[in-house]
């Protein structure tokens, strides 16, 4: 957003808020646009050969909380948290190249889709096994505590991941050790095709938090500002040395489980209901309502992002596939 109509008229605090909200919209839309291209264009054009999992409708969760993290906090995204990468400064080029298996991708073609990370940016790549990151994140948080660091760890997971043993073991260890760990659940009400009532017999994921003696809250996962505020509370708690904190973001996956899934198992009315809560549109409305941005500003923002994305796709397509002779490199330090 290059210019904002009335920014000079705002009080300092409002200016800060306006700036934050604009950044929110920026990342919300960036994630939306990148994923739109991935799922609905590049995948359908056969340019992405593996799975494509997107966070459509859930972008407020990673964007809102990601903007609450400090630059040296560790992030453990799950497979619908693309926005986190952008917040951390990963370029869309690298993401498109990643999905297309090119050397320009974060994993240089070794892995696909959201299985990407960058220790330099303190973003840790997931493995496929749901919830496997949680014990790992607990370990990072434990280390930061031992190191007397002010940094903390943000860990993301879906409702479905909460059924896994690793989820339990990781959170339990983290809570016993009082580690600085912010646990962020995107409860999008489905795990692949499986609805909540086949996954858990409690009403909310946070009903499990007392079992670990940790505080928790439920937040509207489609409201980026609400998520952000909750994340700040959680981060403050963790940073003060009070241990883990769990946030459950109620949301909905506005697409199939992955690009090949038509999601016929979702009752039709839910799509409409949740479309009305679209986090991008809600963020637009907030900005417009408070005159933090005009329609023109927003259109300009979007146009800029679209251009950036076009360029990023072209860049990624120009990035070569890995040289097959590199296949056996990098399994061990010695095999570089």
By CB under 6 A, name the binding residues for ligand TPP: 80, 128-130, 158-161, 164, 186, 188, 190-192, 253, 257
Stretch 223-282 residues interacting with its own copies (CB under 8 A): 243
Smallest distance from its own copies to CB 170, Å: 9
Is residue 194 close enough to count as binding other proteins by CB under 8 A?
A: yes
Question: Are 173 and 181 a contacting pair, CB within 8 Å?
Answer: no
Is residue 188 close enough to count as binding Mg ion by CB under 5 A?
A: yes
- DSSP letter assigned to residue 123: B
Is residue 134 close enough to count as binding other proteins by CB under 8 A?
A: yes
Is residue 321 close enough to count as binding other proteins by CB under 8 A?
A: yes
Question: Are 88 and 304 a contacting pair, CB within 8 Å?
Answer: no
Smallest distance from its own copies to CB 153, Å: 17
6 or 128: CB nearest ligand TPP? 128
For 226, phi then psi, to 5°, come to: -65, -40
Give the distance from CA 28 to its chain's centroid: 10
Stretch 66-95 residues interacting with other proteins (CB under 8 A): 74
For residue 188, give the nearest of 284, 63, 59 by alpha carbon: 59
- DSSP letter assigned to residue 34: H
How far apart CA 294 and CA 284 sit, in angstroms, is 9
Smallest distance from other proteins to CB 291, Å: 43
Name the residue whose CB lies closest to Mg ion.
158
Stretch 186-205 residues interacting with its own copies (CB under 8 A): 197-203
Question: Are 181 and 138 a contacting pair, CB within 8 Å?
Answer: yes
Is residue 330 close enough to count as binding other proteins by CB under 8 A?
A: yes
For residue 217, give the nearest of 235, 239, 194 by alpha carbon: 235
Is residue 189 close enough to count as binding other proteins by CB under 8 A?
A: no
> Rule CB under 5 A: which residues touch Mg ion?
158-160, 188, 191
């Amino acid at each position: 957003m290059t210019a904002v109509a009335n920014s000079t008229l705002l009080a300092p605090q409002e200016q800060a808020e306006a700036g934050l909200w604009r950044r929110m919209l920026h990342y919300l839309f960036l994630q939306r646009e990148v994923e739109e291209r991935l799922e609905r264009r590049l995948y359908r054009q056969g340019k992405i050969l593996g799975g494509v999992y997107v966070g459509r409708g859930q972008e407020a969760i990673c964007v809102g909380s990601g903007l609450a993290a400090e630059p040296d906090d560790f992030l453990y995204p799950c497979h619908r948290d693309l926005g986190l990468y952008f917040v951390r400064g990963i370029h869309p080029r690298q993401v498109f190249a990643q999905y297309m298996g090119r050397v320009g991708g974060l994993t240089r073609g070794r892995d696909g889709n959201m299985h990407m990370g960058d220790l330099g940016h303190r973003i840790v790549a997931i493995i496929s096994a749901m919830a496997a990151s949680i014990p790992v994140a607990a370990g990072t948080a434990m280390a930061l505590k031992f190191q007397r660091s002010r940094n903390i760890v943000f860990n993301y997971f879906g409702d479905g991941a909460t059924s896994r043993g690793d989820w339990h073991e990781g959170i339990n260890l983290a809570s016993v050790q009082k580690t600085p760990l912010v646990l962020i659940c995107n409860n999008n009400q489905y795990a692949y095709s499986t609805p909540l009532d086949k996954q858990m017999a409690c009403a909310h994921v946070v009903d499990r938090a007392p079992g670990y003696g940790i505080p928790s809250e439920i937040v509207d996962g489609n409201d980026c500002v609400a998520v952000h505020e909750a994340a700040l509370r959680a981060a403050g708690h963790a940073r003060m040395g009070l241990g883990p904190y769990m946030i459950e973001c109620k949301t909905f996956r506005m697409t199939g489980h992955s690009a090949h899934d038509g999601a016929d198992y979702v009752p039709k009315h839910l799509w409409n209901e949740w479309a009305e809560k679209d986090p991008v549109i809600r963020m637009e409305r907030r900005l417009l309502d408070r005159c933090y941005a005009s329609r023109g500003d927003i259109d300009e923002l979007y146009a800029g992002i679209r251009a950036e994305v076009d360029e990023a796709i072209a860049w990624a397509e120009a990035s070569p596939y890995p040289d097959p002779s590199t296949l056996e490199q990098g399994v061990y330090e010695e095999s570089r």
